[in-house]
């Protein structure tokens, strides 16, 4: 499993996607924090791919996840900025 910072991924996207095609996993990091994972596409994954023609109708049907509790975004941002 490889890791790549965002800027590195953007600069070398084709090379990273070639690795994913070969079965590798790439973890994308924002500084040292993992934020995403690129994995090979699997037909059995439970994904819904919307076509561009009916995407506006279909997108409205997607339910947003319910938060467990209220989130104070200002407090969260202040805390995340002091963690650096």
Q: pLDDT under 50 in the chain at which residues?
A: none
Instruction: Count CA atoms closer than 13 A to 16's CA, side-chain side.
Output: 20
The pLDDT of residue 51: 66
| Rounded Cα–Cα distance for residues 53 and 66 (Å) | 28
pTM of the model: 0.53
| Closest-CA residue to 4 (of 50, 12, 44) | 12
Q: How far apart are CA 32 and CA 81, in angstroms?
A: 14
Q: Where are the domains of the chain?
A: 2-82
Distance of CA 36 to the CA centre of its chain: 4
Q: Is residue 79 helix, strand or coil? A: helix
The alpha-carbon radius of gyration of the chain (Å, integer) is 17
């Amino acid at each position: 499993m490889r890791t790549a910072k965002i800027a590195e991924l953007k600069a070398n996207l084709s090379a990273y996607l070639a690795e994913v095609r070969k079965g590798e996993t790439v973890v994308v990091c924002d500084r040292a924090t993992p934020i995403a994972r690129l994995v090979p596409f699997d037909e059995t994954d439970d994904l819904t791919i919307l076509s561009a023609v009916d995407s506006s109708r279909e997108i409205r049907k997607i339910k947003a996840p319910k938060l467990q509790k209220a989130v104070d975004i200002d407090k969260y941002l202040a805390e995340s900025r002091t963690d650096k």
